[in-house]
Structure 1
Amino acid sequence: MTRTLLALDLSTAHGSIAVVRGDDVLFRSSFQSERSHNAQVFAPLRDALAAAGDELTGIVIGNGPGSYTGVRIAIAAAQGIALSRNVWCVGWSSLTAPDIEAPNSYPIIGDARRQSFYLARVDNGRLLPDLETVSAETARERTADGQTWLTFDPKPPLALTDIRSAKPSAIRLARIIQSLSQAELDALIQQPLIPHYLAEAFITMPKRPALTSQHPSP
């Protein structure tokens, strides 16, 4: 079965949208936004839906890791379209879809904030589950292994020189989902559409109000 897929990745400052049907790319668009994709995503998204027409089968979003706000915007847009068009929507790791030529298997490094870095590996379009969050010292040691590492950060982390920079490609996301068997796709559709968190959310608890006397001063 040939699927017509709308793919959307807003996990970095580089937004990417595409419509892919089989081997054909019906629509592609990219844009740069350093602050928010809100103002720029909806015009190309409208054009993408027009290109898909009535043959839209499903929607795939890059669920990060990356910009929490960007991924949430992508999720909200995908869910709204899915409801209105009566199609499914799924998430897939943005790290599996670089916009550059890369081997089938490659390691990745990225800034995990709070002076830590994540190390991960992609194998045949799938993010392996052993993603680690490590210190800067460990990241330097691990990336000095002679392999070609990729990063999806705007600049190579830790000023490392042997790192290839890439951005998520909506076209590659769509093609990965196109390659899944129907059984794999059915299982993926059942999974919740949530951002890829590198760590538990940091929540600041409100301070307790100061205790005051029940009786006002005269």
Structure 2
Amino acid sequence: MNGLVLAIDTATPAVTAGVVRRDASEVKVLGERVTLDARAHAEQLTPNVLGAMADAGVAMADLDAVVVGCGPGPFTGLRVGMATAAAYAHALDVPVYGVCSLDAIGIDTLGEALVVTDARRREVYWARYRDGVRVGGPEVSAPADVPAGALTVAGSPDHAALFDLPRLTPTYPTASGLVRVVGFSQPPEPLVPLYLRRPDAKPRSEQTR
């Protein structure tokens, strides 16, 4: 698929929105806004989308598709991005593609790389990559329980620092990374969030038991 793509990710503290032009030869970012604030997903996503659209000089009606990171990530932030992406796609009658947010980081790595992001509870979300292609994960675990074997690490700076490995530049999902990992040749599948574990909140009936 060629054309203009709106890319959104809220699976990490980075609230990312960008407009990307995709054709047979390249992926070009026309506008991108990123806010680093783990508590501002709901407040910042729409302003970032509108800002990216203005920077790109395009209108909503010009979009041909929407891409959204489906995690893994915390429940609240992840829902904000996925619900927003689905709403835009429905309103514009364009397809929406979900991707693993870690892939949008890992695609810019070389060799045997580990990508990690904050899973809270002293744990990390992680996946393994070989020359930008995922070969393991995504999973969630304590840093000490992540299987060895990677030669470098990328992702959340604070959590990448927990591993005694050379650090790579990619830290958070980018608009370019989100679009480049999509298999546009296939019809989009239903959006499925990668929570990887149950929510902290429990139904009252379960609390009683």
The TM-score range, normalised by the shorter chain, is 0.7 to 0.9
RMSD of Structure 2 on Structure 1 (CA):
3.1
Q: Which has the larger radius of gyration?
A: 1
Task: Give, in angstroms, the shift of residue 203 of structure 1.
Answer: 5.0
SS of the counterpart of 1:196? Answer: coil
2:9 alignment partner AA: D
Q: 1:55 aligns with which of 62, 72, 88?
A: 62
Find the counterpart in structure 1 of residue 13 from structure 2: 13
- CA 1:163–1:192: 2 relative to 1, 3 Å: farther
- CA 1:46–1:104: 2 relative to 1, 3 Å: farther
- CA 1:208–1:19: 2 relative to 1, 3 Å: closer
Q: Which runs of 5+ in 1 are unaligned?
A: 210-218
- CA 1:115–1:37: 2 relative to 1, 3 Å: closer
Find the counterpart in structure 1 of residue 115 from structure 2: 108
User: In the TM superposition, what are the counterparts of 1:27-176 in structure 2 within 5 Å?
Assistant: 27-50=31-54, 51-53=57-59, 54-98=61-105, 101-103=108-110, 106-123=113-130, 126-128=133-135, 130-139=137-146, 142-143=147-148, 145=149, 147-150=151-154, 152-156=155-159, 159-162=162-165, 164=167, 166-176=171-181
- CA 1:88–1:146: 2 relative to 1, 3 Å: closer
Task: Give, in angstroms, the shift of residue 55 of structure 1.
Answer: 2.7
TM-score w.r.t. length of structure 1: 0.74
Contact conserved, 1:15 with 1:33, CA < 8 A, in 2? yes
Q: Which runs of 5+ in 2 are unaligned?
A: none
SS of the counterpart of 1:159? Answer: coil
* Partner Cα separation in structure 2 for residue 61 and residue 193 of structure 1: 9
Percent of aligned pairs with the same residue?
27
Contact conserved, 1:4 with 1:52, CA < 8 A, in 2? no
* Partner Cα separation in structure 1 for residue 150 and residue 133 of structure 2: 22
Q: How many residues align?
A: 198
